[in-house]
C-alpha cells in the first residue's frame, strides 16, 4: 500500500504519518508514504523528525492547488489521506480568499488527479464546524450543513465536492468530521497550545466573551486512529464522525489549563467575542463506533497533562514559531 498524505507536516497530518510509519494505527503497514505539504506557517518539517530516517518516507514540498505538482504526487499511490487545509477561524474572518482557494479548489485539484490516476481510496478529513452550532443533542452524519465562518463554509464546500465525486464518478471517497483536536506538535495559534505557551512564559491568555462556548475535545492520537479505521473499513460515499466524548465550556478548559500551568485567573484577559462565534459543537459518534469499533482511548485529564508536559519539554520546537 502506497499512501499520499497531504498536509502531512501539519499538526494532525504529521501525527498520522508518524503513527502510520510506526505501525501503531489499525491499518496495514504502508510500503511507502509520501507527504505533500506547502510548508505554510503551520507546516513544519520538524514535525516529521521522529520518522525522517524511515526509508519509506518521501517528502514533496508543493501546493495542492498546483495541478502539475499534484498530478505527479498522486501517480502511483493507492490511498490519499487529505489533511491539507487552511484551518484557523480567526484568520478566515480577516480574509476568506486563502481558505476558499486551498480548501475548495485544492481539494478539487486532488480529486481530479485521483480520478485520473485511479487512486483506490480518497479519505477527506473535515470538521464538525460545517454544521454550525447546536443548542441541545448531537449531530448525526446526515445533519444539514449550516457553516457560520468562512473557514467552515470552505470546508463544507470541500466535503460536498468530495462526496459529489463519489456520486458522479464512483470514486472511493470517504469523509471524516472531527471535534476539536489537541496534543503535541499543535501550532501555537490554537487555543490549548496558545494558552499553555503563554502561561509557561508568564504571560496572559485571552478568553472570548463569557467563556460559555462549548467544545468536544479529541486527542490527536484518537483522531488518527479513527481516520485509519475509516481508511481501512469505511463504506465508500459515507461520512463518519470522530469525537472525544468530553465537552467543556471555554471557561472550564481555561480553568484546567491554569491549574496545569500553576497559574491563577489574574492571568486571564477577557476579550470581545469572535464574530459569528458558534456556541456549541457536539458530534454523535454512534456510527463509527458501531460499524468500525471506534471509541476514544485518551481521557481529557491524561491527555491535557501529557500535552502540557510536552510543551514544557519542547520549547525549542515552539519558541521560534511564536517569534
The catalytic position among 15, 19, 128, 278 is 128
pLDDT for 141? 98
CATH architecture of 2-181+218-242: 3-Layer(aba) Sandwich (3.40)
Q: What are the pLDDT tens digits along the chain (323 aa)? A: 999 999 999 999 999 999 999 999 999 999 999 999 999 988 999 999 999 999 999 999 999 999 999 999 999 999 999 999 987 777 878 888 989 999 999 999 999 999 999 999 999 999 999 999 999 999 999 999 999 999 999 999 999 999 999 999 999 999 999 999 999 999 998 999 999 999 999 999 999 999 999 999 999 999 999 999 999 999 999 999 999 999 999 999 999 999 999 999 999 999 998 887 889 999 999 999 999 999 999 999 999 999 999 999 999 999 999 88
SS3 190: coil
129 counts as catalytic: yes
pLDDT for 284? 98
The catalytic position among 15, 63, 129, 216 is 129
Cα distance between residue 300 and residue 287, in whole Å: 22
Cα distance between residue 35 and residue 195, in whole Å: 29
The catalytic position among 16, 151, 240, 281 is 151
128 counts as catalytic: yes
Cα distance between residue 81 and residue 124, in whole Å: 6
Q: What is the DSSP string of 32-84?
A: EEEEEE---TT--GGGGGGGTT-TTEEEEE--TT-HHHHHHHHTT-SEEEE--
pLDDT for 27? 97
141 counts as catalytic: no
Domain ranges (residues) in the chain: 2-181+218-242, 184-215+246-276+298-322
CATH topology of domain 184-215+246-276+298-322: UDP-galactose 4-epimerase; domain 1 (3.90.25)
Amino acid at each position: 500500500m502506497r499512501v499520499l498524505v497531504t498536509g502531512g507536516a501539519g499538526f494532525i497530518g504529521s501525527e498520522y504519518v508518524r503513527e502510520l510509519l510506526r505501525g501503531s494505527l489499525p491499518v496495514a503497514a504502508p510500503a511507502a508514504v509520501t507527504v505533500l505539504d506547502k510548508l505554510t506557517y503551520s507546516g513544519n518539517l520538524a514535525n516529521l523528525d521522529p520518522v525522517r530516517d524511515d526509508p519509506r518516507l518521501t517528502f514533496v514540498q508543493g501546493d495542492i492547488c498546483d495541478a502539475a505538482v499534484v498530478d505527479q504526487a498522486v501517480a502511483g499511490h493507492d490511498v490519499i489521506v487529505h489533511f491539507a487545509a487552511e484551518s484557523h477561524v480567526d484568520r478566515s474572518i480577516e480574509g476568506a480568499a486563502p481558505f476558499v482557494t486551498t480548501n475548495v479548489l485544492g481539494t478539487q485539484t486532488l480529486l481530479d488527479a485521483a480520478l485520473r490516476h485511479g487512486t483506490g481510496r480518497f479519505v477527506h478529513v473535515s470538521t464538525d464546524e460545517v454544521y454550525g452550532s447546536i443548542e441541545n443533542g448531537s449531530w448525526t452524519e446526515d445533519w444539514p450543513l449550516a457553516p457560520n465562518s468562512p473557514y467552515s463554509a470552505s470546508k463544507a464546500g470541500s466535503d460536498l465536492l468530495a462526496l459529489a465525486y463519489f456520486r458522479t464518478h464512483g470514486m472511493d471517497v470517504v469523509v471524516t468530521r472531527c471535534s476539536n483536536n489537541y496534543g503535541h506538535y499543535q501550532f501555537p495559534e490554537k487555543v490549548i497550545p496558545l494558552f499553555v505557551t503563554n502561561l509557561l512564559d508568564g504571560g496572559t491568555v485571552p478568553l472570548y466573551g463569557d467563556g460559555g462556548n462549548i467544545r468536544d475535545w479529541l486527542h490527536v492520537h484518537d483522531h488518527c486512529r479513527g481516520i485509519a479505521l475509516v481508511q481501512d473499513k469505511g463504506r465508500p460515499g459515507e461520512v463518519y464522525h470522530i469525537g472525544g466524548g468530553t465537552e467543556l465550556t471555554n471557561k472550564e478548559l481555561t480553568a484546567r489549563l491554569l491549574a496545569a500551568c500553576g497559574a491563577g485567573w489574574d492571568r486571564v484577559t477577557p476579550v470581545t467575542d469572535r464574530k459569528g462565534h458558534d456556541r456549541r459543537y457536539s458530534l454523535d459518534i454512534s456510527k463509527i463506533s458501531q460499524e468500525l469499533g471506534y471509541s476514544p482511548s485518551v481521557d481529557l485529564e491524561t491527555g491535557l497533562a501529557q500535552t502540557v508536559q510536552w510543551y514544557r519539554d519542547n520549547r525549542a520546537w515552539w519558541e521560534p514559531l511564536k517569534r
